[in-house]
Structure 1
Amino acid sequence: MAGKTTLATPDPDDSGKRRKKAKPRKRANGEGHARERKDGRFEAQVFVTTSDGGRKRVSVYGKSYDQCQDELTKLRDQERQGLPAVTTTMTVGEYLTFWLYQVAEPGIRRTTFTTYEGAVRLHIIPGIGKRKLKQLQAVHIRTWLNGLRTKCQCCAQGKDAKRAEAPDVPAKCCAKATPECCGEYLSASSIRHLLRVLRAALQNAVNEQELIARNVARMVKLNVTDPHKVRALTDVEARQVLVVAKQHRLYALWAVALAIGLRRGEALGLSWNDIDMVRKRVTIRQALHRVDKQLKLEEVKTDESNATIPLPGQLVRVLKEHRMNQLQERFEAGDAWQETGLVFTTTMGGPIEPRNVNRMFARLCTQANVRQVRVHDLRHSCATLLFSMGVDAATVQRVLRHSSITVTTSTYVEVIERVQRDALDGMDAFFQDGDDEGSA
């Protein structure tokens, strides 16, 4: 019917009050939202934490709204993980600083972290730290590493300038009135170590943080080698060193390092509780290192290094004599004696500074009139002497506690080849006899 008004049926649940329409949740300041730009791309801005701990608004982009939101979600996830999230402008140096302290440090030994920190601070950041992480290429890494082969680290790290500032230290190299560069170049093994550290850091950026698509450091192949991989004392030199060392209060230290191939830290961390004089064996379980400017005893670096090895009878005699001398020093020191339980100590019972051991051994080499080698080269000398006596590689591996026999054979390949050559030269006698018979 025209003009008739139709009334809506009332809702039985309606309380008579008009319902209010729910308002959309208001985004917090800096939460981020994608909007379309004039160029057709979508942009979202959000506040993130920078590598220096500050807050900064950054933008992410996408060809579509969903793509932009995905990038925004990744940025928020990184923020929740505590990762500096300025992915568009983050430099290699900023990321390595984060990786070093947030990823590497919690999961590695302190001594290992010290080497990583030195590699990052002294070499990697000065070399490629200012480059953008996403723009880093293999050619940048290769150029930087090649340059290190001819860059004097004494000059690059300002060591000469520090000498010039210290009035009680004589000037050397470039700090002299007439500069003379000392040519302190990195060895091939040191350069390879830098590449390994960089590879580990960038791989984390690929796998866990998803900051970059690929690890460009893995594309770099180094063709650098050290001219002499192993330096070891000859049989004659080893005897000369031991003869002179008998006059030294730490004669047992040099004897242990040479006879069973202990590393410097392992020898200095050796405890009397680790030595069984009756059964003639020693357990290697800890090492002494200077870490964070303090001398600390830490567990040996690998499970393979933690092992029990036999002691030669003459070495047991040397250790017993050393024990008697130490007890005499303890008696003379009285209340000033520091009880550490260590085999090798100062005259007051304290741990020995590793760098002082280097200086003592250098003087020992001079007095014995032999080549200047490192304390660690006594370990190489042990392996070389064992091979020269006809000991097989598997036994040498167990004595030196290498992780695998491959490490042993690859490290001492030249020594093994020389021993094999000497052994095969004994076959000449057969051919010599045959020639004589043929000519008779």
Structure 2
Amino acid sequence: MAEYLEAWLEIKQRSLKPTTMARYLDYVHKDLVPALGAIRLEELTHHHIAGFVRAQLAAGRGRITLHRCVATLSSALTDAVRHHRLIHNPARYANIPRPRRSPRVCWSPAQAVAFLHYCAQIHDPLAELYELILCTGLRKGEALALHWADVDLDAKVLLVRYTLSNINNATPVCTTPKTKSSHTWIGLSARAVRALHRQAERQRVLRLATGPAYRDQDLVFTRRDGQPLRPEYVLRHLHQLTDQADLPHIRVHDLRHFAATTMLSSQVPLAMASKTMRHATLSTTTEVYGHLLRHVAQQAVDAIDTALTSAEDPTQAA
């Protein structure tokens, strides 16, 4: 297993994003090889994997992390099946109790406005970043990797080409977006355009004040020296601001959820909201935001009712 997993990683390195590869390396070297590396690939069974899962849970391993670790193993074993090294994948049906999903915290429009007003009042340097995510539903990494070359303020659109991630929580790198559907144009509202105009002016002043030390990488949102912002700093700073503004703690990703929640609560059609959020499939939107879609079901049956009523009495169609 140790030899097989090392060879598998070498092949996967050619196609995986650096951040995904770093996670795979971590799971293989720190977890899978120490526990299963001495077992022959052809002799690996469901019982070996069940024992690994039990030992990890007994040691206090987080269930979400363990899910990801076993998913890495399952991916490697699926390739072994594909190449006829195994008849079946013994990790495919590993039973790991899933933790109960905590309720998602989402601001109301009034809370979002209060937050933006507070940021404007103290001239916070990340105010426009947070406002752009609220207005567009961009993912955090996509906003942090946004380049001015991909923004057209006159046409009111921006192009998502990159996402910023940390490799082993150390090196920020720009990679391809999360899914194929993520790589696309996004419309900008008048509020988002104004936020980007303010950011351009803020950056111009900063560049002049910093002088030669400013390293221009064409990024829209940066540190004082022009370098990329670190995702973990953006989250910590958001928490500081919400404390100061006396608002509920949320993740940066919850700003994206605010955009989706607001669209669906405002009767925006499901397909349009899903397209705006750039979900890979419509089912992703319904799975994440199903609790908000009662109005869609009501609209659907009302449409049937209207059609039947009009057919019964054509005078009502007018």
Q: Does TM, normalized by the shorter one, top 0.5?
A: yes
Q: One-letter code of the match for 1:406?
A: S
SS in structure 2 opposite 1:377? helix
User: Which residues in structure 2 correspond to 1:263-274 (within 5 Å)?
Assistant: 263-274=139-150
**1:213 maps to amino acid:** I
Shift of 1:421: 9.0
Match status 1:193 vs 2:41: no
Deviations 1:327-360 (A, max 9, x none): 1111111222211111101122221122211211
Task: Letter of the 2:42 partner, please give it.
Answer: K
Give matches, 1:213-362, under 5 Å.
Answer: 213-222=87-96, 224-228=98-102, 230-246=104-120, 247=122, 248-291=124-167, 293-362=170-239
Based on CA coordinates, which of the two structures has the bigger radius of gyration? 1
1:233 Cα deviation from its structure 2 partner: 2.7
C-alpha contact (below 8 Å) 1:281/1:311 kept by paired residues: yes
Q: Is the counterpart of residue 202 in structure 1 residue 77 in structure 2?
A: yes
Q: In the TM superposition, what is the alpha-carbon distance from 1:127 to its structure 2 partner?
A: 4.3
Task: Give, in whole Å, the separation in 1 of the partners of 2:162 and 2:93.
Answer: 37
Aligned to 1:58: none
8 A contact 2:141–2:163 mirrored in 1: yes
Could you say which residue in structure 2 is the equivalent of 1:57? Answer: none
Q: How does 1:30-429 map to 2 (within 5 A)?
A: 92-100=1-9, 102-149=10-57, 151-153=59-61, 185-187=62-64, 190-208=65-83, 210-222=84-96, 224-228=98-102, 230-246=104-120, 247=122, 248-291=124-167, 293-417=170-294
Q: CA deviation digits over 1:6-65, x for unaligned, max 9?
A: xxxxxxxxxxxxxxxxxxxxxxxxxxxxxxxxxxxxxxxxxxxxxxxxxxxxxxxxxxxx
In structure 1, C-alpha distance between the alignment counterparts of 2:259 and 2:55, rounded to whole Å: 36
**1:29 paired residue number:** none
Q: Distance in 2 between matches of 1:422 and 1:231?
A: 26
Q: Distance in 2 between matches of 1:254 and 1:316?
A: 13
Query: 1:368 and 1:130 mapped to 2: Cα distance?
Result: 55
Q: Are the structure 2 counterparts of residues 415 and 125 from structure 1 closer, same or farther at C-alpha, using a change threshold of 3 Å?
A: farther
1:112 maps to a residue whose letter is T
Instruction: Compute the displacement of 1:212 (Å).
Output: 2.8
Distance, in Å, in 2 between the alignment partners of 1:150 and 1:244 is: 46
Contact 2:270–2:296 at 8 Å: present in 1 too? no
Cα distance change of structure 1 residues 93 and 337 upon mapping to structure 2, 3 Å threshold: same
- Residues in 1 aligned to 2:162 and 2:283: alpha-carbon distance in whole angstroms: 24
Q: Which piece of structure 1 moves more, 393-402 or 142-151? A: 142-151
Q: Is the 8 A contact 2:132 2:195 kept in 1?
A: no
Say which structure, 1 or 2, has more relative contact order (CA 8 Å, 6+ apart): 2
Question: Structure 1: which 5+ runs fail to align?
Answer: 1-91, 154-184, 425-440
- Structure having the higher helix fraction is 2
How big is the shift at 1:379? 1.4
User: Is the 1:245–1:254 Cα contact (8 Å) retained in structure 2?
Assistant: no
Distance 1:143 1:287, change over 3 A: same
2-structure distance, mates of 1:107, 1:334 = 40
Alpha-carbon shift at residue 216 of structure 1 (Å) = 0.9
Given that 1:230 and 1:412 are in contact with CA atoms closer than 8 Å, whether structure 2 keeps it comes out as: no
Question: Structure 2 vs 1, CA of residues 225 and 396 (structure 1 numbering), >3 Å: closer, same or farther?
Answer: farther
Cα distance in 2 for partners of 1:421, 1:402 equals 20
SS at match of 1:106: coil
- Counterpart of 1:227, as a letter, is R
Partners of 2:95 and 2:49 lie apart in 1 by 10
Is the CA contact 1:230–1:411 (under 8 Å) kept in the aligned structure 2? no
Residues 221 and 415 (structure 1 numbering): CA distance in 2 closer, same or farther, change over 3 Å? Answer: farther
Runs of 5+ in structure 2 lacking a partner? 301-318
Secondary structure, in 3 states, of the residue corresponding to 1:412?
Answer: helix
For residues 244-263 of structure 1, the C-alpha deviation after alignment (integer angstroms, 9 at most, x for no partner) is: 22231111100111111111
Distance 1:144 1:235 in 2: 46
What secondary structure is seen at the aligned counterpart in 2 of 1:297?
strand
Counterpart CA distance in 1 for 2:104 and 2:35 is 29
Q: CA shift at 1:221, angstroms?
A: 4.8
Give 1:320 deviation, angstroms.
Answer: 0.5
CA RMSD of aligned residues (A): 2.6
